[in-house]
């Protein structure tokens, strides 16, 4: 993985100093080398910082030029070997063995249709000198970020918000909708970003910017999540196909010219990946985090079982190393905050990996693709209740909910009962309802609390609750929270994160062929994945245990250094939030109520906002 940055200047003015500063802000994404390229008259300018994974020589240096066209590319194309052979057969002559050149040569021959052939995690910009236009493209799942900002002086883009804001010199004015989405959902959703005037290219899309006296741009979709069009009731067929796809994906993603590893949490997904990886490489390196004294959060025993069974080169990292200093380091260096406390152990394990490897494979995507979340089954039950009540529960649910405390575990579910099916996902995962969010951030407009905003997750085409919920999670929660966490925690440690389960062939298979009853079967989540895993994991493996990289943060912030840090930050003067309400929330948590996630997200935001000197809404 790498970092890309660049701009189209309306005046032809060079911004070399700004470009170098943007490099420095993103040097963690590419510590191995950096480079720039400018077109004639200096109108188009590309920058790149490189983390060398494939083609380690200077031949892989970027920005790269082939036949007058230029590319700056962040990510990996895993099937580049096969595509390279196809392109050679079509007449391409290669100077390197890099996947970067494969993209550019492929575009030169096939145009944007070549993007449909790419299997990987990527975001790139190509300057087409013949058409005088720039094409931006982002991978299907959204593993790699790409921000852009069109304004009067030109068009700016970057892998990270910090690089873009520095290059464009835009004011860091908070976007109201982003603030709302963060405190309700825990992340900024969709094409939005934290700042006014900055957008994010949607996954599975490419955007063409046409140069001229005035810039114009158009976005097109080259891939979208498929519908359940070819469901199969043949379990053996589904198992065999999924097993083959996972094995193929891991084989492709283990391709690199540097050592690779696996983040082994002890759950089904990462354990299964370790098993398959052991079929393709000898003594794979595995890493996990353990929490001695906190058995509820410690999966190191399960991870060690897998490591021993497959004779991996295993490393256990002590969770006690998760300190307030680590929190502050992460909060100050994130370009976009997300409310997920597993940022801490995820960062820690990537930091440990960085001393041994440049590449780490993880199990992201398994829950969204194969029915791994508890709320999927609960939503199915909720629909049955709503159907039987003929909607009569809607009004009493609203009345009861408005009298519940923020700490009540029933609050979100009652809100969901009030909603139509397409909006239930918003309400089930929300951290604040409208009443409490208005108390926290009084400056937010009342318009953010109407039905349209609560329904900001667009309706997905689906035949069932499970299909709708999993599509919604894939298109929002996975993209805007899970994958942001994975990318930032890995890149801040100069690690390339890879997700074998997000191979687009597996995504297509999961959504188009696997029916609901093979995702959740008699209450068993991820049924089809577990059926595949049973054929490859040891018989003593506990298929019901699943925590991921979690930590006992609720208890941690009630005592010692964590309590002092949270109290000091929440009690500091801020024009962004209401101090009285936030301190009340903190005091209630200290008294036994559970507000762990709300407090984590709030403190993370306040540190990030101060570090980045954001302007008030």
Q: For position 606, what pLDDT does the model report?
A: 97
Whether residue 12 sits in one domain with residue 46: yes
- 7 compared with 458, residue with greater pLDDT: 7
Q: Are residues 459 and 558 in the same domain?
A: no
**311 and 206 co-located in one domain:** no
Residue 320 has pLDDT above 80, yes or no: no
Q: Do 205 and 247 fall within a single domain?
A: no
Q: Indicate whether 70 belongs to any domain.
A: yes
221 is catalytic: no
- Banded model confidence at residue 263, pLDDT cuts 50, 70, 90: very high
Average pLDDT of the chain is 88
pLDDT at residue 246, rounded to an integer: 98
Q: Is residue 230 part of a domain?
A: no
Residue 413: per-residue pLDDT: 47
465 carries a ligand binding annotation: no
pLDDT at 454: 39
Whole-angstrom distance between the N-terminal and C-terminal Cα of the chain?
Answer: 34
What pLDDT is recorded for position 452? Answer: 43
**Does 268 belong to an annotated binding site?**
no
279 vs 9: CA distance, rounded Å: 51
**Do β-strands 154-158 and 199-200 pair in parallel, antiparallel, or remain unpaired?**
unpaired
401 close to 415: Cβ distance less than 8 angstroms: yes
Q: Is 261 in the same domain as 161? A: no
Is 228 among the domain residues?
A: no
Are residues 83 and 107 both part of a single domain?
yes
Residue 289, annotated ligand binder? yes
| pLDDT value of residue 369 | 98
Establish if 428 belongs to a structural domain. Answer: yes
Average pLDDT over residues 293-316: 87
- Same domain for 188 and 99: yes
Whether 494 has a pLDDT exceeding 80, the answer reads yes
Give the chain's domain count.
4
Residue 544, Cβ neighbours under 10 Å: how many?
Answer: 8
> 150 - beta bridge partners?
155
Residue 95: give its domain's CATH number.
3.60.20.10
Would you state the torsion angle of the CA atoms of residues 92, 97, 99, 105, taken in this order, to the nearest 10 degrees?
-20
Q: Tell me whether residue 229 is in a domain.
A: no
| Distance from C-alpha of 67 to C-alpha of 59, rounded to nearest angstrom | 15
Whether 214 is covered by a domain: the verdict is: yes
Least confident of 323-327, 393-397, 605-609: 393-397
Q: What domain range includes position 137?
A: 2-221
Q: Are residues 253 and 355 in the same domain?
A: yes
Which of 221, 249, 279 terminates a domain? The answer is 221
pLDDT tens track for 74-123: 999 999 999 999 999 999 999 999 999 999 999 999 999 999 999 999 99
Residue at a domain's end among 443, 463, 483: 463
Same domain (yes/no): 159, 17: yes
| Domain-terminating residue out of 496, 531, 549 | 549
Work out whether strand 285-290 and strand 260-263 pair parallel, antiparallel, or are unpaired: parallel
Say whether both 437 and 484 belong to one domain.
Answer: no
pLDDT one-digit tens code per residue, 28-79: 999 999 999 999 888 999 999 999 999 888 899 999 999 999 999 999 999 9
Predicted model pTM? 0.92
Residue pLDDT, tens place only, 390-409: 444 444 444 444 544 555 55
Per-residue pLDDT tens digits for 497-532: 999 999 999 999 999 999 999 999 998 999 999 999
**For 106-118, what is each residue's pLDDT tens digit?**
999 999 999 999 9
Asked if 396 and 430 sit in the same domain, the reply is yes
Helix, strand or coil, per DSSP, at residue 557: coil
Domain check: are 261 and 202 in the same one? no
């Amino acid at each position: 993985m790498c970092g890309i940055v660049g701009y189209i200047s309306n005046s032809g003015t060079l911004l070399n100093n700004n470009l170098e500063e943007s490099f420095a802000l993103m040097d963690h994404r590419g510590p191995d080398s950096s480079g720039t390229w400018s077109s004639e008259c200096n109108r188009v300018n590309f920058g790149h910082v490189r983390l060398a994974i494939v083609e380690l020589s200077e031949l892989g240096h970027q920005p790269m030029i082939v036949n007058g066209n230029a590319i700056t590319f962040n990510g990996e194309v895993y099937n580049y070997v096969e595509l390279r052979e196809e392109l050679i057969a079509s007449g391409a002559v290669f100077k390197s063995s890099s996947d970067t050149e494969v993209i550019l040569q492929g575009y030169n021959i096939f145009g944007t249709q070549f993007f449909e052939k790419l299997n990987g995690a990527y975001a790139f910009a190509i300057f087409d000198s013949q058409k005088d236009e720039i094409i931006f493209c982002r991978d299907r799942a959204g593993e790699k970020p790409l921000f852009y900002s069109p304004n009067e002086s030109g068009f700016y883009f970057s892998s990270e918000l910090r690089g873009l804001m520095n290059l464009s010199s835009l004011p860091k004015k908070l976007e109201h909708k982003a603030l709302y989405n963060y405190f309700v959902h825990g992340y900024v959703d969709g094409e939005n970003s934290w700042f006014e005037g900055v957008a994010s290219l949607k996954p599975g899309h490419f955007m063409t910017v046409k140069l001229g006296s005035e810039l114009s741009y158009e976005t097109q979709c080259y891939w979208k999540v498929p519908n359940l069009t070819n469901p199969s009731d043949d379990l053996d067929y589904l198992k065999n196909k999924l097993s083959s796809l996972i094995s193929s994906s891991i084989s492709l993603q283990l391709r690199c010219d540097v050592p690779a590893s696996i983040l082994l949490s002890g759950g089904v997904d990462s354990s299964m990946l370790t098993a398959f990886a052991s079929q393709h490489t000898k003594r794979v390196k595995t890493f996990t985090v353990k929490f001695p004294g906190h058995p509820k959060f410690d999966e190191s025993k399960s991870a060690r079982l897998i490591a021993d069974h497959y004779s991996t080169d295993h490393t256990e990292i002590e969770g006690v190393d998760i300190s307030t200093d680590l929190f502050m380091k992460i909060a100050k260096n994130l370009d976009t905050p997300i409310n997920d406390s597993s940022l801490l152990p995820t960062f820690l394990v990537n930091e440990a990996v960085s001393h041994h490897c440049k590449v780490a494979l993880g199990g992201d995507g398994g829950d969204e693709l194969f029915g791994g979340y508890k709320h999927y089954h609960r939503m199915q039950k909720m629909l049955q209740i709503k159907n039987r009540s003929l909607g009569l529960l809607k009004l009493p649910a609203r009345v009861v909910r408005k009298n519940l405390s923020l700490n009540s575990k029933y609050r979100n579910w009652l809100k969901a009962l009030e909603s139509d099916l397409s909006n239930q996902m918003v309400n089930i995962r929300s951290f604040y309802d409208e009443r409490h969010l208005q108390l926290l951030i009084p400056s937010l407009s009342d318009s953010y609390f109407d039905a349209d905003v609560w329904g900001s997750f667009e309706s997905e085409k689906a035949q069932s609750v499970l299909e709708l919920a999993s599509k919604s999670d894939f298109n929002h929660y996975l993209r805007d929270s899970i994958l942001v966490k994975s990318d930032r925690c890995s890149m801040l440690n100069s690690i390339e994160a890879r997700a074998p389960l997000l191979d687009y062939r597996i995504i297509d298979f999961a959504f188009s062929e696997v029916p609901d009853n093979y995702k959740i079967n008699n209450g068993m989540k991820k049924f089809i994945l577990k059926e595949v895993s049973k054929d490859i994991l040891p018989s003593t493996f506990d298929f019901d245990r699943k925590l991921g990289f979690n930590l006992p943060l609720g208890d941690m912030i009630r005592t010692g250094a964590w309590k002092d840090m949270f109290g000091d930050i929440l009690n500091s003067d801020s024009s962004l939030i209401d101090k009285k309400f936030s301190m009340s929330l903190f005091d209630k948590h200290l008294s036994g109520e559970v507000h762990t996630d709300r407090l984590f997200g709030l403190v993370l935001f306040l540190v990030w906002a101060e570090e980045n000197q954001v302007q008030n809404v």
